[in-house]
Structure 1
Amino acid sequence: MTRAPGRPIRARRGGLAVLAVVLGMLVPLVQLGTASAAPPRPASIRVDAVLSAITAPDGTPASAVPSALVVAGQPFSIEVSFYDADGQPAAFSQDTTLAISTSAGSTNLPVPATGVAPGGATSATLSTTLAAPANQVSVTVSVPGLGGPRGVAPGTSTPAQRFDVLSSLRFEASAPETPFSAAVGGTDGCADATEAQPVCGIVTLPRGAVSSSVLLSTGLCDRAYARCGSSRGTVIQFLADLGGLYTPSAPAAVLVRCDKTLCGTGSIKKMGLSYSLLGNGALAAAPACPAKSTLGADQEACVDYVQSTRDNAGDTLLVLLLTRDARISVS
């Protein structure tokens, strides 16, 4: 009689012991079922975007905005992502050094020239600078020592992602129906051009701009993309929302001043200006205007040779008429 009450108690303990063993076996199974698989190892890199903290004034026509507003000596970012052999997102198992190179030339190397892909991340953002101006720059991101067919294929920016590295850039305040005038490049407000700085410009907007500011910049001259007569020149750019304030019979104007050491002293009508209304488009020669202060019906820009002149110092002053923002060079 004294043993009977104890038997059920031992049985219950045994049952609890068995239950504890079963639960101990289930826990790892549950953990295995909920754990996510690590991304596969990358086989290639893709350049997703080249970005700058600088943005064009609100309302600037989208086609006129460069892919990235990059200024010499100022940082810009490169966004990249990683993919496996099947084109699926991939990641390095640990922090991995990435190398940055550009088409800006062997004497204009990116600083820093490396960045880091965080371990386990399928994308990364790299920051670098280029010290000197350049045109139509492309970037390539690679993994040092992991090239070749069995390595990680580098990523290079697309033609649409190419960008110009500008010499200078600033913003000037503007408002609609408030006359605007500002110099671009040169010295002393472009009152004079010198052999050292032979090209500058003055942007004149008689009715101002709809945007609260106008972006003014200078860039590198070359004979192909910028269609400059000499690499000593300057590409002048202004970006703004002109909001229909200007018409062919009441246009905006850019006066381009060119030093005699660059533009000579011959006939003004033999001189020309090149322009582009596209943020990354190659410049093309501007036609002559049909009359003073007037664009032709089929013209988006023209050189007003009636108002163009040469001053007492021998500088050539060419006037470009237009109804919206542009990039301009002496051709």
Structure 2
Amino acid sequence: MTSNDIVLGVLFMFQTAFGALGNSFLLGLYSITFFTGPRLRLIDFLLSHLAFANDLVLLSKGVPQTMAAFGFNNFLDDVGCKLVFYLHRVARGLSLCTTCLLSSFQAITLSSRSSRWANLKARDPKSIVSFSFLCWTFHLVAYYLTLLNVNGPNRTKNITERNFIYCSLKTDVPFNATLYIFTICLPDVLCVAIMIGTSGYMVFVLYRHHQSVMYIHRNNLTHTSSPETKATQTILLLVSMFVSFYSLNAILTLHIYLGKLTFWLVHISAFLAACFPACSPFVLIVNDSEVLKYSLTLWEKIKLLVT
């Protein structure tokens, strides 16, 4: 094991540990608050769902990648590889779908009461739960192909398999391009397009609102942003991060599958895939005032129980 391997292993270990810690904190906070604290916002349901999906992404990708970087390449058998790759693909799809729902939900929240989206506001709770259930069902079914193509580490020079360090992928399996496009590529592209469209709409609404109240800003030096504006800015930041990391990872993944496979590209692709799940909880903790309010409420309840 070289010094580069040790650096990679430590990097993946810290990324996974801190990301999992942040997501687990948010998930635990929202869960405890739901049962003992103030009433959660509807958006908090999506944020807790995102935290759970991000935890799955980090654990299913970060832990095996860390062990592989430290030189443990044969710690999974065929069943383990299938399960790890399947969980990662499903969790990654859920993270994408949930971020798309977050962006869409906030765009609807910002829309005018007199707009054609007004009817959707009344059905938000039922719609959000239904779409979340649909996301789970779709991704659990769509990624069954992963179970067929992934095997344990390739210990031979079999040219029909591509070695991804701790697992291998069959390349001689009959490939159905139409099925792949409609079950994998098209939904991902559609979600990214929706996020970009809703983000553009939110930026436009915020800019228009800023222009309409500019005279208030000039006369009120203590003006602060509304909670709705802060929530929108936080979601815009999350969407920007997701689209950036997702696009870079997609380009590298395409190159890995179509071009020459190198272990450095595999490591970089895995690191980029885990960047959003690792960073997003801290963006929410720092920027979402409701997280601080829930934390303070929980802390007060703990102090009352102790005393």
Report the TM-score range of the alignment, normalised by the length of the smaller protein.
under 0.3
Q: TM-score, normalised by structure 1?
A: 0.22
Identify the structure with the greater strand proportion. Answer: 1
Structure 2 length as normaliser, TM-score? 0.23
Answer 1 or 2: which has greater helix percent: 2
